[in-house]
Amino acid sequence: MSMAADDPVVPSRAPALRPLPQLIFGSRWLQLPLYLGLIVAQGVYVILFLKELWHLILHSFDFSEQQIMLVVLGLIDVVMISNLLIMVIVGGYETFVSRLELENHPDQPEWLSHVNASVLKIKLAMAIIGISSIHLLRTFIEAGGLGSDRTTYTETGVMWQAIIHGLFILSAIGIATVDRMGQPVFDKGRKPSHA
C-alpha cells in the first residue's frame, strides 16, 4: 500500500495515553450517535424522494410543463440535500471521529482521499450554494404569478431569497480565500513557505 506524502506517519506501537488525554481524545466518539442520526435522516429523504417521484408518475398526464418542472426541481433538491448529508456523514466521521480505512476500496470517493476540516467546509459551502440555487430557480419559475392567487411568493420574498443566495456565494468565496491564504506558497527553486 503506497502512502501519500501528506499522510501522517503513525508508529506501529503508539504509546498509551495518560487517563485525562485518553478521556478527551475518546470523547470524539460522542459524535457517533449524531452521524447515525444523519443516516436515519438520509433514509427519510429516500422515502420523500420516492413519494415525490410516485406523485410525478401518477400525474404525468395531468400536470402542465411548469408543474412537472417544479416537481423535478424538488427531486433534484432532495438529491442535493442527500449529497450534502453524505459529505457530512462520511467526511465528518473520517475527519473528526475515526478513519474509515477505504484506501484500497474501489468505491472510495475521490474527495475523501484528501479530506480535512478545511476541504469539508468548502465542499459544504458549495453544496449549500447548489441547494440555494435550486430553491431560487423554483422561486423564479413561480414568480411569473406574483400578485395573483397562483403563488404564495411576494416581491419582497423573492428579493430576500436572491440576497440570501448572494450572501451564500460571498461566504463560500470568503471561506475559499481564507483557506487559500493558509496554503503554502511554492516558488521555483525554494522550499514551500506559508503566506
4: which DSSP letter?
-
Contact predicate 71/45, CB 8 Å? no
Which residues in 45-60 are b (16+ Cβ under 10 Å) and which e? eeeebeebeeebeeee
The DSSP result for 120-182, as a single string, is HHHHHHHHHHHHHHHHHHHHHHHGGGTTSTT----HHHHHHHHHHHHHHHHHHHHHHHHHHHT
Longest dimension (CA), the chain: 71
Q: Please compute the mean of the pLDDT values over residues 12-31 and round it to a whole number.
A: 81
Report the run of H or E that residue 48 belongs to, with start and end: helix 32-58
Helices and strands per DSSP (H, E), number in the chain: 6, 2
* CB neighbourhood size of 81 (10 A): 19
Dump pLDDT digits (tens) for 121-150.
887 888 888 888 888 888 888 776 666 666
Q: Of the candidates 45, 58, 53, which has an alpha carbon nearest to the alpha carbon of residue 89?
A: 45
The pLDDT tens digits for 5-17 are 555 555 556 677 7
Q: Rounded to two decimals, what is the model's pTM? A: 0.69
Q: How many residues does the chain have?
A: 195
What residue has cell string 488525554? 21
pLDDT tens figures, 31-86: 999 999 999 999 999 999 999 999 999 998 998 888 888 899 989 999 999 988 98
